[in-house]
Amino acid sequence: MVKKKYMPITKSAKKALRQSLGRRARNIQKKREIKNLLKEMGTLVSQKKVEEAKKLLPQVYKILDKAAKTGLIKKNTAARKKSRITLSLSSAKPSEARDEVNPQRAVAKPQ
């Protein structure tokens, strides 16, 4: 619980304080979920458990997209985290199997 810096006087201020404390608790919990999921994903990638990490990928994408949609994190932050996760997952795999994780790499580039 957060130490109150002021005592609300009006009825609406009291309600606003209750709401903000509830939102704060919810936001902290969601951020903790995101952090734990990203940490778990990083652990799986570092242990070269690519198949398990691939199964976790949609769950990571979902929680990041939802957090960005609700304003918990910014849109570009979610995009950056998703990009880095995908990159680390694809770098943990052998080079010929990378195209499964990132289909854009499958496009042949003119040399």
Q: Is 16 left (phi over 0), alpha (psi -120 to 50) or beta?
A: alpha
Q: What is the structure's pLDDT at 96?
A: 45
Considering the domain boundaries, does residue 77 fall inside one? yes
**Domain span at 53:** 35-92
Predicted TM-score of the model (pTM): 0.73
Average pLDDT, the chain: 86
Considering the domain boundaries, does residue 65 fall inside one? yes
Considering the domain boundaries, does residue 43 fall inside one? yes
In Å, what is the CA distance from 25 to each residue of 28, 33, 68? 5, 12, 17
Q: What is the structure's pLDDT at 90?
A: 87
Considering the domain boundaries, does residue 75 fall inside one? yes
Residues of the chain with pLDDT under 50: 95-97
Query: What gap in Å lies between CA 78 and CA 75, rounded to an integer?
Result: 5
Which alpha helices (DSSP H) does the chain contain, by range? Answer: 11-46, 50-70, 75-92, 98-101
Q: What is the DSSP letter of 48?
A: T
Considering the domain boundaries, does residue 13 fall inside one? no
Query: What gap in Å lies between CA 48 and CA 24, rounded to an integer?
Result: 36
Judge contact between 60 and 41, C-beta under 8 A: yes
Closest CA to 57 of 94, 102, 96, 97: 102
Q: What is the structure's pLDDT at 25?
A: 96
Q: What is the structure's pLDDT at 82?
A: 95
